[in-house]
Amino acid sequence: MRRLNRKKTLNLMKELDAFPKVPESYVETSASGGTVSLIAFTTIAFLTIMEFTVYRDTWMKYEYEVDKDFTSKLRINIDITVAMRCQYVGADVLDLAETMVASADGLIYEPVIFDLSPQQKEWQRMLQLIQSRLQEEHSLQDVIFKSAFKGASTAPPPREDNSLQSPDACRIHGHLYVNKVAGNFHITVGKAIPHPRGHAHLAALVSHESYNFSHRIDHLSFGELIPGIINPLDGTEKIASDHNEMFQYFITVVPTKLHTYKISAETHQFSVTERERVINHAAGSHGVSGIFMKYDISSLMVTVTEEHMPFWQFLVRLCGIIGGIFSTTGILHGLGRFVAEVIFCRFKLGSYRSTSVPLPDGHTSNHLPLITDNSTH
């Protein structure tokens, strides 16, 4: 009974076989079939390599949500060189809550030479080239996110020429912590002093002829400092055409959470628009000479996540490639053989109809005579 049940089970499984086996004696090979098979195998190999390249690659996924964090502090990372002596300039932050953050809380004033050395000029040229490409190719930002903490620092290299020239500029660098509200970071003439109605700068002792707000922004970022990330104002250089000139930067800061296979950090992206004008009260152009960076915090937060294709999806796509190419080439090969047989059959039929055989009574016949054994002798 067990053997009988086993045979019934095997017979049932054979009936469910969706892949019937054709005896090799019934299979006919052809040169056209071999050529199509070679093309199919080559195509499969090429697409498999391409699919594996896609599987190894990753992409960045962007998600947006409302930023509910209003209590934490915002860090501003600054590295700006102004073409004035350090005793003549002062930097501070004033936000909408009338909270003043003095530069003494985290910024360093370092006397330097404004003109760059040859190596530093090459560094700045390359950074400006990258900035121009980023404005044209927005997908390069994903590459920068992936290479964070692996790329070189965006800080300028130290001088290599040991110049004996006396310092004529002031490098203001460091970081400040401010409230997460709109504010104004500015560098102007004179040191900042607190005031009951805001703040003021001691600019009375500095002559207007010494005003020169030509500046270079080596680095400006918000949030956690991440090496390898290039920000929109990095490498910017502005040369003042007048002593009383105002440079304004209007910045929109977007909180960003970055999650890649290398790092997980909370930083901030920002966009910026620029404006510069000469202060001339007689012509109606009012204001204060200096560098003003007015920033505003976006209410939206962006989460950037690096994603990878799952292995099961790679297998499904690979099976689709192999099966699809086999099916498609088989259909095209069968269709080609059918068209070729139809054309050749018509040609043969035409040659048969054009053949005539004389009959004994003087008539002709267009049919070919049957070939018998007697006719061969």
Give the model confidence (pLDDT) of 51-67 as tens digits.
888 888 887 888 888 88
Query: In this model, does residue 98 exceed pLDDT 60?
Result: yes
Highest mean predicted confidence (pLDDT) among 141-145, 181-185, 200-204: 181-185
pLDDT digits (tens, 9 = 90+) for 167-196: 889 999 999 888 888 889 989 887 777 666
Which pTM was predicted?
Answer: 0.68
Whether 251 and 293 have beta carbons less than 8 Å apart is answered as yes
Measured between alpha carbons, how far is 166 from 117 in angstroms, rounded to an integer?
14
Measured between alpha carbons, how far is 217 from 251 in angstroms, rounded to an integer?
14
Report the pLDDT value the prediction gives residue 140, as an integer from 0 to 100.
61
Torsion of CA 40, 44, 50, 52, to 10 degrees: 180
Lowest-pLDDT choice from 184-188, 242-246, 328-332, 343-347: 343-347
Report the pLDDT value the prediction gives residue 82, as an integer from 0 to 100.
94
More confident residue, 158 or 233: 233
Burial 359-370 (b: 16+ CB within 10 A, else e): eeeeeeeeeeee
What are the φ/ψ torsions at residue 337 (nearest 5 degrees)?
A: -65, -40
Residue 301, beta-bridge partner list = 65
Report the pLDDT value the prediction gives residue 376, as an integer from 0 to 100.
45
Neighbours of 52 (CB within 10 A): 12
Measured between alpha carbons, how far is 125 from 206 in angstroms, rounded to an integer?
34
38 alpha-carbon distance from chain centroid: 38
Residue 278 CB contacts under 8 Å (≥ 6 apart), including other chains:
241, 242, 244, 245, 246, 285
Work out the percent of the chain whose per-residue pLDDT is above 90. 12
pLDDT digits (tens, 9 = 90+) for 105-122: 788 999 998 888 888 888
